[in-house]
Amino acid sequence: MDVIGSQTFGNILFLVSLIIALVIGWRQIYLNDVVELYAVTSVKQVRNVDSGTTQEFVIILIQNVGTRLVYLDKYIFNGSEYITNGQIFPSTYSQAGAGYWIDLPSNGIHHVSIAVHYHDLDNRYWESNVVADFVDNGWKTSSLPRKSAKR
């Protein structure tokens, strides 16, 4: 009788351990499944090879700070749509050094709003909004949390 009881106890213990392992694994996948973009103002230098001169442009550098690979579909800059054709946008955690930059205006415009549309490997569609204002002789940039978007 002890053999049957210990075997049943062992099976129950195995089943409970398996369930706990599955729950922990699912939770880790859920915690590591982050999709988020972040924008910062930066300076891009462009060197003219012929003349040897260098020009500087103020840009918004958009980075994928989530853990998943995403694909940029388009962005809307102050109401004008720009298609990016699903450009691959790896996470900064992959250390691929990827970023997508958008030149900021130098023609007296003092407010910029950008809506970046992208999707992930599971075909979930997202939108991240970026707002930049020219204040005190410099651009102040804000990245807003992503939200679900329609295809």
Domain locations along the chain:
1-32, 35-148
**Sequential pLDDT tens for the chain (151 residues):** 455 567 888 888 889 899 999 888 877 766 666 788 999 999 888 898 888 899 888 999 999 888 888 999 999 999 999 999 888 888 877 777 678 889 998 888 999 999 999 998 888 999 999 999 999 888 999 999 888 888 7
Q: For residue 30, what pLDDT is reported?
A: 65
Helix (H) or strand (E) holding 12: helix 2-32
Tell me if 35 sits within 8 A of 8, measured CB to CB. no
Q: Give the pTM.
A: 0.74
- Selection from 130, 23, 124, 31 nearest residue 73 by Cα: 124
| Cα–Cα distances in angstroms (integers) from residue 15 to residues 8, 9, 27, 64, 82, in the given order | 11, 10, 18, 40, 53
